[in-house]
Amino acid sequence: MSKDCLIIFTRYPQPGKVKTRLIPALGAAGAAALHQRMVEHTLAQARALRQTRALSIEVWFTSSSTLAQMQEWLGTDVDYCVQPEGNLGDRMASAFKSVFSKGYTSALIVGTDCPDLNAALLAQGFSALAQNELVLGPAIDGGYYLMGLQRLIPELFVDIAWSTAEVLAQTLAIAQQLKLTPLLLPYLTDIDVPQDLEHPLIKF
């Protein structure tokens, strides 16, 4: 078994259920189509990385879809897990706990909203974990698009105002309290709101 695990958080591209803040600009079908492309882009980058290093890929999807739907869409060469109930922090902590219980010694978790995320950045994240307990990929909107850990650190997922511009700052403050010095990857843009659609890579 590889020691590295990449966790991808996503959901099935059902119109009206994904990228809802983009619906005023794109319509429900357009927002779902964009979500679908970004998920497929993220998974393609993960598969590209897997060509150069031993890596397990786990796609954690929401319970609104089925395993059969996910496998038909994204294939059967990755593992699938259903995201548990709870807020984003609860679900992320559960995912990290799960992969570390399986024997992985380094794990990255990413979403699928970042068109600039590529195999090279993922590789950089795993390399950084060799010497850093916490790796973060900060997003320009104040959140983060990537977190890497060597072990579950539950405090990082508690008392965070998820889906706000305070997520990164609050996470860094907790890390400081825990005497952790995170390594920060480059700042990137998440595609969440209509003004983000001006991103040059949005039509990859």
Residue range 142-156, pLDDT digits in tens: 999 999 999 999 999
| pLDDT at 204 (0 to 100) | 37
Distances (CA, A) of 43 to 39, 78, 180, 197, 198: 6, 9, 30, 21, 23
Q: Report if residue 198 sits inside a domain.
A: no
Instruction: Write down the pTM of the prediction.
Output: 0.95
% of the chain residues with pLDDT over 90? 90
pLDDT level of residue 203 (50, 70, 90 thresholds): low
- 202 in any annotated domain: no
Q: How many domains does the chain have?
A: 1
Range of the domain at 24: 4-192
Adjacency order of strands within the sheet including 4-10 = 79-82, 56-61, 4-10, 106-110, 144-149, 134-138, 183-184
- Does 77 reside within a domain? yes
Instruction: Check which CATH number belongs to the domain holding 13 and give it.
Output: 3.90.550.10
In a domain, 199, yes or no: no
Cα dihedral 25, 31, 35, 37 sign: negative
Q: Decide if 160 is inside a domain.
A: yes
In a domain, 203, yes or no: no
Question: Is the pLDDT reported for residue 89 higher than 50?
Answer: yes
Residue 15 inside a domain? The answer is yes
Residue 151 placed within a domain: yes
Question: What is the pLDDT at residue 202?
Answer: 59
Give the model's confidence band at 191: pLDDT under 50 very low, under 70 low, under 90 confident, else very high. Answer: confident
- CA-closest candidate to residue 46, choices 133, 137, 128, 111: 111
